[in-house]
Amino acid sequence: MSNENLHEFYNSVTAGNYTSCMVEKGRWRGDGEIRVRGYSSRLNYKKSFSIMIDRKLYILERGESTGGLYNRIAMRAYQLAGVSSCDTESVALFLNDEYLGCYSLITYYSPEKIKGELYKFNISVGSDLGRNHPLISYCEKKFPKDGNLSNLEHLFYACSSLSDDEWRTFVNKYVDVDKTAAYLVIHDFLTVTDTTRTNFYIQYDGKYRLIPWDNELCMIKKRDNYKLCTDNQLVERLGTVPELKAAYNQTMQKLFIGGGEECILDTLQSEAADMFDALAPAMEHDPRFKMDYQQFMAEKSYALYYLDKNTGRATEVEALTLH
């Protein structure tokens, strides 16, 4: 990156604009654009970035305590369950030969991968929806960028205003019950804790689906107060619909607590071990990593225990059944 572009890049911390850069990854080399990403990132020494290459968006996420591995494990779990989610990999990031540390490279959702409309969810779904909250002030339509939030409004107003019988009819007509149940099963098995108003998207292509975003805050150690199908009113109301509840319990049984041929835990545990092992050497040299190498390996042990079908989360059968 030239000195002029480097100056523009540093200015993107406050301006949010992209600047030109040359991107190299393995044998690939080409032109791109880069900017500092996210308001919280701007307050951290180790920042996250957005990169545009051939009009395709990638995220360089600095990761939290595990270098982004919990989010990577979560995205892989969604994929194994047949839920649309982002492809991820761990990379070392260099800027003009300066090592910035370990990052998670995330291939962002695109219209080629996710059909129809995609919305970012930025408000807690509460009783005031449909009354005093203009959605366009709080939610973002990722694509197509036409500013039309009518389909999102349709969902939110139904959630806030319909009776239980009307809501059940609405969900069975307009919600992809099986895919949404699968999303909720992964979310709850992994105890994702920060989707009250963000870190999940809503897709609509004639049917509504929930799909994941950043699930780094998952696999919590203290789960006594964690409840299935909670975190926001939309999810809570979805969990009351008998057809979705039945699909949820069947999917949880199949993917996790049943231990049968379709159980994904052996695959997920093996891939998680490989992710930790591949990233471990770099952790000792990351200039701004939040934990030391021994702590990182302790997190690996915990994650593999959590994903063990004989000893981990899958043994909490009653706590994983939606009543």
User: Is the predicted pLDDT of residue 100 greater than 60, yes or no?
Assistant: yes
Over residues 8-56, the pLDDT tens digits come to 776 776 677 888 888 998 878 889 998 888 766 667 778 889 999 988 9
User: Is the predicted pLDDT of residue 66 greater than 70, yes or no?
Assistant: yes
User: Is the predicted pLDDT of residue 128 greater than 70, yes or no?
Assistant: no
Contacts of 54 (CB under 8 A, 6+ apart): 30
SS3 136: helix
Whole-number Å distance between alpha carbons of 234 and 126: 8
The lowest-confidence range among 181-185, 220-224, 301-305 is 220-224
Q: What is the percent of the chain where pLDDT is above 90?
A: 63
Quick one: pLDDT at residue 127? 45
Mean pLDDT of 263-287: 91
User: Is the predicted pLDDT of residue 73 greater than 60, yes or no?
Assistant: yes
Sign of CA dihedral 145, 151, 152, 153: positive
The lowest-confidence range among 52-61, 79-88, 117-126, 226-235 is 117-126
Over residues 168-178, the pLDDT tens digits come to 999 999 999 99
Burial zone of 125 (CB within 10 Å; 0-12 exposed, 13-18 middle, 19+ buried): buried
Mean pLDDT of 65-74: 91
In this structure, what token pair is assigned to residue 167? 């809501």
User: How crowded is the C-beta side of 293, counted as CA atoms within 13 Å?
Assistant: 9
Q: Is the model more confident about 71 or about 95?
A: 71
